[in-house]
Chains A and B, each alone.
Chain A
């Protein structure tokens, strides 16, 4: 009896050890890449895609007219060359010849026209529509497409990049197939989507560039970043984008990590249309009470770069160009006294801890710093959807937000800080000076003039403490060592998986 018991125990132990050892086949050398994502994609219409997961997955399936490269240079995509007329009111694009959609049909100028018209159609609810509103008409001639603009708009060229500017088949648009089936020109073809589990892609052998080396790419949903890292360590996932700096710090030497400052930024948004924040003294007091390096140190373990308003690399604001580049409590108290709050005041702030991994820690850091100047920050922790709905309704005094950036400051901020911008209500501030500066920045193609305009915008925003810009978090792309040839892009696009290989 005892012997039998012993045999049973040994048997169970052997089975457990065997189960650990037998996982090895999962790491067999193959050209099948598995990308770990924490959130599932939420739609199949690339032009209406807004979530990071959808943008990343569909970004390798569809193509756009131009592409933003690793050095934020604008490179040919489905258009091989382009040029503006002297007035900057016409953009002529020459379309790449011989490009095929995944269903075998040929990509032509009519597809470009139909795709852009679909974005401009309000019924599409296209995410990039706001960037293209200066387009009055589109004409085609052979392989040439001309965009006719109502006002000079040079930044529109950079705005043609990305999955929201995906070129679709005009036949698919007519047949109402967009969002129901997937037919792009990108390096990978869509195979299937198992909601909540995975999106499967396979290589497009007829891609216009070099044929991809990977056979398949699977985006697998693993809801927590800690588990994604575990899957990378175990070799069941070979690629992932991590946002939590604490998780990124645990990445071991067995993996490769690309750390790039993103365009997205963390900001304490102030609603300057509501008292007491309608008083510039109160806003400046908040600016002076906050040490951004302290926030980065305590909430981000030092993992972020301190920024001013503009994160677009070519136009990046100098983070020290502000009335209080470092915390200055005496100055903060003076501003408060000027505003009539010498004894301090209480301000509420909305925070969505699920929106950004360290949002709660950032909120706590701000709260303790502001307290030193006599400002009590009352935190309201809400879920994502609540945050968004209150944010859109400008139903907040302050909001700790993680906003997306763009490679051109015009597309990044026109919608927020011009008086007619669709998010101006959320921005809580506009002025005639800002309106004029944005028009100036948009209407010239001379880099020096544009830089001067955006520097002035940045100063205007900082001197009025419109918002308190904090830092730009890093994006960590973690890959197994077997993945070679991948180039990370600041836009977050994974299009360079077309050159990647598993060895």
Chain B
């Protein structure tokens, strides 16, 4: 009896429930992507041969279907992809003749770097302007801060990217992204130049909601008793601002940053196109056009795993910020 109740307690423990929910989310996404790709018209053959598919005889089409593995039942196709995904090879890209793992190895670091730069810039700019605004609510500086938030939310990433690219190239003859992409470990200086503007575009997109959340969280905290007490005890205003107010406002800010990271992965698709960065966004987009099932499925799964991981990390950070959360 005791064993059963201990087992039940173990199964229903928050950690196990969390692991179960993460795995079922990922499983659900894998099924969803798999089905959606097959519901939309076209397949790997039309993706690869275009209108020349019309030249192929039924025999050739049958051969190609076999070659691409799309003549198997849906269940078998799913299982064989899953097997390849779990084995780490992630499937095979027919148009490039290499495994999806090899493609991802060069594309993933680009997107991760871009997302990290975007997040860091977004959080730094967002919190700074949020604090700047919240210091004197209703003042001109508050108005200016809020105006920034509104503009940053209103201007779509692709407009900002195109504007930057066009102005820098036409006026200053500067477009480092036209050069071969350089990873930071090969040429950090060129990499910095290639990542600077796309990172900034994504950073601005993240900064706006972070700024708004920071401002409202700070304004809510500033009236709390413990802040008044701290002021009353004669703690230096700057110390109150950072150690008492900001620290206790961090929960919504961290939540917002976690959510924004997910959007950032989506935004990266467009920014990578405009700034010619060979990242995961471009990999997915090309693969969708060519109906390269394994590449799309595995890339989306990697995005999903990243998103879920960030969510779990956000939860862990909560506990660090506020030990009352279990």
Contact = CB atoms under 8 A, between A and B. Distances in A.
Contact of A392 (B51, B106, B282, B285): B51
The 4 closest A-B pairs by CB, nearest first: A236-B178, A231-B178, A385-B42, A230-B169
A350 to B, nearest CB: 10
B291 A236 contact: no
Interface of A: 19-20, 23, 26, 34, 36, 39-40, 42-44, 50-51, 122-123, 125, 127, 129-130, 180, 193-198, 218, 220-224, 226-227, 229-231, 233-237, 252, 354, 382-386, 388-392, 403, 415, 422-423, 425-426
Contacts of B283: 196
A383 B50 contact: no
Contacts of A415: 54-55
Contact of A42 (B48, B55, B170, B272): B48
Interface string B170-211: 101111111111000000000011001000000000000000
A195 B98 contact: yes
B97 A227 contact: no
B107 to A, nearest CB: 7
A392 B170 contact: no
Contact of B50 (A50, A130, A180, A194): A50
B181 to A, nearest CB: 6
Interface string B51-82: 11111110110011000000000000000000
Contact of B276 (A129, A223, A385, A425): A223
Which label, helix, strand, loop or mixed, suits the secondary structure of the B interface?
helix
A237 B64 contact: no
B166 A230 contact: yes
Contact of B46 (A195, A227, A230, A389): A389
30 contacts: A20-B174, A23-B193, A36-B178, A42-B48, A194-B106, A195-B95, A195-B96, A195-B103, A196-B278, A197-B181, A218-B180, A220-B180, A223-B282, A224-B276, A227-B178, A227-B276, A230-B175, A230-B178, A231-B169, A233-B170, A234-B175, A383-B42, A385-B41, A385-B47, A386-B42, A389-B53, A391-B51, A392-B46, A422-B55, A425-B54
Nearest to A386: B41
A426 B54 CA distance: 9
A415 B46 CA distance: 18
B165 interface: yes
Contacts of B24: none
A490 B40 CA distance: 36
A236 B165 CA distance: 13
Contact of A388 (B42, B169, B178): B42
A196 B281 CA distance: 11
Interface residues of B, number: 61
B173 A235 contact: yes
A180 B96 CA distance: 10
Contacts of B176: 23, 26, 234, 236
Contacts of B143: none
B290 to A, nearest CB: 7
Given A122-B60, A236-B175, A386-B40, A227 B180 contact: no
B50 A388 contact: yes
B103 A224 contact: no
A196 B107 contact: yes
B169 A233 contact: yes
Contacts of A382: 41
B289 interface: yes
A23 B174 contact: yes
A39 B285 CA distance: 11
B278 A233 contact: no
B282 A234 contact: no
A467 to B, nearest CB: 15
Contacts of A227: 165, 175, 177-178, 273-276
Given A220-B180, A236-B175, A197 B278 contact: yes
A222 B178 contact: yes
Interface string B35-46: 000001111001
B309 interface: no
B125 to A, nearest CB: 14
B162 interface: yes
